[in-house]
Amino acid sequence: MVKTINSKILFAAAAVATVFAGLVASSACLWSFYQPEEPECLSDK
């Protein structure tokens, strides 16, 4: 009985972690649209 409870808890934790990883990845993709201009002092030209 303890093994089934532990496996259910681990399954739920894995599901929550998967959803959280998907949310974080999708929000990181939204931030990539913002590309600030490079300052002249940092450019290689």
DSSP state for residue 22 in the 8-state scheme: H
Calculate ∠ Cα 13-14-15, nearest 5°: 90
Q: Examine residue 43 and state whether it is found in any structural domain, yes or no.
A: no
Quote the Cα angle for 32-35-41, to 5°: 140
Determine, yes or no, domain membership for 40. no
Q: Which amino acid is at 24?
A: V
- Looking at the domain assignment, is residue 17 inside a domain? yes
| Residue scoring higher pLDDT (32 or 23) | 23
Q: Which of helix, strand or coil describes residue 16?
A: helix
Where in the sequence is the domain holding 3, given as residue range(s)?
1-29
User: Is 7 a domain residue?
Assistant: yes
pLDDT in tens, 13-22: 999 999 999 8
Provide the residue type at 7 as one letter: S
- Write down the pLDDT at residue 45: 67
Q: Kindly state whether residue 39 falls inside one of the protein's structural domains.
A: no
